[in-house]
Structure 1
Amino acid sequence: MSDPINHLGLLLIDYQDIFLNTIPDREQLLQRTHFALKAAELLGLSIAVTEQLPGKLGPTTETLSSTWEINTPVFEKSAFSALEAEGLQRWIETNQIEHLLIAGIETPICVYQTAIQALGEDIGVTLLSDCISERRPQDRKPVLEQLLAMDAHVLPSETIFYSLMGSAGHPKFRAYTQLVKAG
């Protein structure tokens, strides 16, 4: 049986300063997303990034872009669903991704539409609850309730990565706990 980690992908959606500047919990969001990014890299997950019209709205915030691995693909998009970004479907197929861990902004717009499309294409979805945000916090609950009703999962990043390791006997456990302590 193949390792389920091999079929997981972390998707970071639209962490651009123009959007981040409107997010009430920006610093906490960036801290938790950095943690998830580093945990995913540590465990060898496939990682991809999208940017909404970066020529017009700017690139991913340097807080994240300066820390990810050099070969992390960044996909430009104009649609709200990240899966409409040119090349992203090919990334999913090439990496044999069956389940996406989704982080990004905004929850009721791009995160929601990406999750809906992924679920419709039989790709599993887990929203990293500490790595998603929105301008209007009151929009979060109904969006997450709808996605849960559609079989998406919503869990904190730390929960997901501990689950992927399974036990303290995992070869990356010590390095992971260092990330937990730092994050």
Structure 2
Amino acid sequence: MPRIDPKSTVLLICDVQERFRSAIFGFDAMVGTISKMVKAAQLLEIPVITTEQNPRALGSTIPELGLSSLPPNLDLGTFSKTRFSMTIPSITSILQERSVKWAIIVGIESHVCVLQTALSLLETDTKPYILADGVSSCNRQEIPVALERMRHDGVTITTSESILFQLVDDASSPLFKPFANLIKESKESTKTALSTLLDRQTNHL
């Protein structure tokens, strides 16, 4: 299996909207992971695609993710949708035009939109990676079941720090120093996300 390459990867952020702020289990912990991934995307020049589920009713994407800091060439857009999967035609076209081989998926809900996005991508040439410390649901119990189903169906389940080290690949890389600084500055938020979102799931992964 070829190594994941930043040049052929996108970060998909699924429906992290205002209305979900008080409803999603471990919302702030999940946001910490996603914010770290947005910073890493800027460092590694990985483009980002964001969706909003029915934004008129559920609000816009929260500002804490840091999407406003992305340069135009990395921010591929925020797309409104009613379909649960992120694989709406406009996004599928982007993935095909850019020959995207890997998609890192974060957001909500793990058992609905995240799961359906991952399963849809399995039918394409883009391999989905789910960050277990970057997805959540309203009901905590749904999360490990969704992750186990995705893993069983062939989706790679990993963590934010693990995937980032894969992407950087080599400590001799000129990106390693700023990357190491990002890992260091996000150390506490990473611990919080892991303890909040994964401690109860370990037996299911």
Q: TM-score range by the shorter chain?
A: over 0.9
Task: Please show how residues 1-183 of structure 1 align to structure 2 within 5 Å.
Answer: 4-65=5-66, 67-71=68-72, 72=75, 73-84=77-88, 86-183=89-186
TM-superposed CA distance for 1:38, in Å, is 0.8
Q: Distance in 2 between matches of 1:129 and 1:142?
A: 12
Residues 17, 60 of structure 2: 8 Å contact kept: yes
When residues 81 and 60 of structure 1 are mapped into structure 2, their CA distance, relative to the original with a 3 A threshold, is same
> How far 1:56 sits from its partner (Å)?
2.6
User: C-alpha root-mean-square deviation of aligned residues, in Å?
Assistant: 1.8
- Work out whether residues 46 and 95 of structure 1, in 8 Å CA contact, stay in contact via their aligned partners in 2: no
Offset of 1:89 from its aligned partner? 1.1
In structure 2, relative to structure 1, the CA distance for the partners of 1:3 and 1:143 (3 Å cut) is: closer
Equivalent residue letter for 1:16: Q
Distance 1:34 1:122 in 2: 27
Structure-1 separation of matches of 2:92 and 2:4:
22
Q: Quick check: 1:7–1:98 contact (8 Å CA) kept in 2? A: yes
Matched residue SS, 2:105 = strand
In the TM superposition, residue 70 of structure 1 has moved relative to its aligned partner by 4.6
5+ residue gaps, structure 2, are 187-205
Q: Is the 8 A contact 2:4 2:166 kept in 1?
A: no
Letter in 1 for 2:81: K
Cα shift readout 1:104-144 (whole Å, capped 9, x = no counterpart): 10000100010110112242111011111111111111211
Shift of the 40–165 alpha-carbon distance from structure 1 to 2, 3 Å rule, reads same
The verdict on how the C-alpha distance between 1:164 and 1:3 changes in structure 2, with shifts beyond 3 A counting, is closer
User: Could you tell me the percent identity over the aligned residues?
Assistant: 27
Query: TM-score, normalized by length of structure 2?
Result: 0.83
Q: Equivalent residue of 2:52, what SS?
A: strand
Q: Secondary structure of the equivalent of 1:96?
A: coil
Rounded Cα–Cα distance in structure 2 between residues aligned with 1:17 and 1:83: 22
Equivalences, count: 182
Superimposed CA distance per residue, residues 22-61 of structure 1 (whole angstroms, 9 cap, x where no aligned partner): 1121111111110011112211112110111112321100
| Unpaired segments ≥5 residues, structure 1 | none
Report the secondary structure of 2:61's partner residue. Answer: coil
